[in-house]
Amino acid sequence: MARPPPLGELPPDYTPPAQSAAPQILTGSLKSPLWLRAYFQGLLFTLGCGIQRHCGKVLFLGLLALGALALGLRVAIIETDLEQLWVEVGSRVSQELHYTKEKLGEEAAYTSQMLIQTPRQEGENVLTPEALGLHLQAALAASKVQVSLYGKSWDLNKICYKSGVPLIENGMIERMIEKLFPCVILTPLDCFWEGAKLQGGSAYLPGRPDIQWTNLDPKQLLEELGPFASLEGFRELLDKAQVGQAYVGRPCLNPDDLHCPPSAPNHHSRQAPNVAQELSGGCHGFSHKFMHWQEELLLGGMARDPQGQLLRAEALQSTFLLMSPRQLYEHFRGDYQTHDISWSEEQAGTVLQAWQRRFVQLAQEALPQNTSQQVHAFSSTTLDDILHAFSEVSAARVVGGYLLMVLPFLALGIGVDDIFLLAHAFTEAPPGTPLQERMGECLQRTGTSVTLTSINNMVAFFMAALVPIPALRAFSLQAAIVVGCNFAAVMLVFPAMLSLDLHRRHCQRLDVLCCFSSPCSARVIQILPQELADRAVPMGIAHLTATVQAFAHCEASSQHVVTILPPQAHLVPPPSDPLGSELFSPGGSTRDLLGQEEVTRQKAACKSLSCARWNLAHFARHQFAPLLLQSHAKVVVLVLFGSLLGLSLYGATLVQDGLALTDVVPQGTKEHDFLSVQLRYFSLYEVALVTQGGFDYAHSQRALFDLHQRFSSLKAVLPPPATQAPRTWLHYYRNWLQGIQAAFDQDWASGRITRHSYRNGSEDGALAYKLLIQTGDAQEPLDFSQLTTRKLVDKEGLIPPELFYVGLTVWVSSDPLGLAASQANFYPPPPEWLHDKYDTTGENLRIPAAQPLEFAQFPFLLRGLQKTADFVEAIEGARAACAEAGRAGVRAYPSGSPFLFWEQYLGLRRCFLLAVCILLVCTFLVCALLLLNPWTAGLIVLVLAMMTVELFGIMGFLGIKLSAIPVVILVASVGIGVEFTVHVALGFLTTPGSRNLRAARALEHTFAPVTDGAVSTLLGLLMLAGSNFDFIVRYFFMVLTLLTLLGLLHGLVLLPVLLSILGPPPEVIQMYKESPEVLSTPAPLAGELRWGVSPTLPQSFARVTTSMTVALHPPPLPGAYNHPASDEPTWSLAATPAASGCSNLTSRGPCPTTE
Find out whether 123 and 314 touch, Cβ atoms under 8 Å. Answer: yes
Backbone conformation region of residue 398, classed left if phi is above 0, alpha if psi is from -120 to 50, else beta? alpha
Examine the pLDDT at 21 and tell me if it is beyond 60.
no
CA distances from 544 to 10, 11, 1090, 1103 (A): 11, 9, 8, 6
Mean pLDDT of 187-207: 85
Beta strand ranges found along 294-344 (DSSP E): 299-300, 303-304, 310-312, 315-323
pLDDT at position 1121, please? 37
Q: Residue 755: what are its φ and ψ, rounded to 5°?
A: -60, -30
Examine the pLDDT at 586 and tell me if it is beyond 80.
no
* pLDDT, tens digit, 9 for 90 and up, residues 756-792: 888 888 888 988 999 998 887 778 888 888 888 889 9
pLDDT at position 968, please? 78
Mean pLDDT of 261-284: 90
- Pick the range with the lowest mean pLDDT from 76-80, 810-814, 1002-1006: 76-80
Radius of gyration over every alpha carbon of the chain, rounded to an integer in angstroms: 42
Examine the pLDDT at 395 and tell me if it is beyond 60.
no
Q: Residue 399: what are its φ and ψ, rounded to 5°?
A: -70, -40
Task: Identify any residues that bridge with 524 across adjacent strands, giving them in sequence order.
Answer: 561
* pLDDT, tens digit, 9 for 90 and up, residues 1011-1023: 888 887 787 777 7
More confident residue, 135 or 23: 135
Examine the pLDDT at 446 and tell me if it is beyond 50.
yes
pLDDT at position 172, please? 63
Max avg pLDDT among 385-389, 396-400, 1121-1125 = 385-389
Going by C-alpha positions, the residue among 270, 207, 276, 217 that lies closest to residue 244 is 217
Helix ranges (H only) for 620-716 are 625-628, 631-652, 661-664, 670-681, 701-712
Amino acid at the residue 15: T
pLDDT at position 171, please? 59
Examine the pLDDT at 1123 and tell me if it is beyond 50.
no
Mean pLDDT of 573-590: 39
Going by C-alpha positions, the residue among 23, 1070, 1077, 31 that lies closest to residue 588 is 1070
Write down how long the chain is. 1155
* pLDDT, tens digit, 9 for 90 and up, residues 31-60: 566 677 778 888 989 999 999 999 889 999
pLDDT band at 228 (very low <50, low <70, confident <90, very high): low
pLDDT band at 298 (very low <50, low <70, confident <90, very high): very high
More confident residue, 1110 or 450: 450
More confident residue, 188 or 686: 188
Examine the pLDDT at 568 and tell me if it is beyond 60.
no
- Give the SS3 label for residue 372: coil
> What is the spatial distance between Cα 1013 and Cα 422, in angstroms, rounded to a whole number?
11
Find out whether 4 and 594 touch, Cβ atoms under 8 Å. Answer: no
Examine the pLDDT at 661 and tell me if it is beyond 80.
no
> What is the spatial distance between Cα 971 and Cα 958, in angstroms, rounded to a whole number?
19
> What is the spatial distance between Cα 1030 and Cα 669, in angstroms, rounded to a whole number?
12
> What is the spatial distance between Cα 767 and Cα 809, in angstroms, rounded to a whole number?
12
Find out whether 296 and 279 touch, Cβ atoms under 8 Å. Answer: no
Amino acid at the residue 90: G
Mean pLDDT of 926-940: 85
* pLDDT, tens digit, 9 for 90 and up, residues 877-901: 999 999 999 999 999 999 888 888 7
Share of residues in the chain with pLDDT > 70 (%): 74
pLDDT at position 252, please? 94
Mean pLDDT of the chain: 75
> What is the spatial distance between Cα 1044 and Cα 1115, in angstroms, rounded to a whole number?
43
Q: In what order do the strands lie in the sheet with 541-547?
A: 541-547, 1101-1107, 569-572
**Cβ count near 334 (within 10 Å):** 9
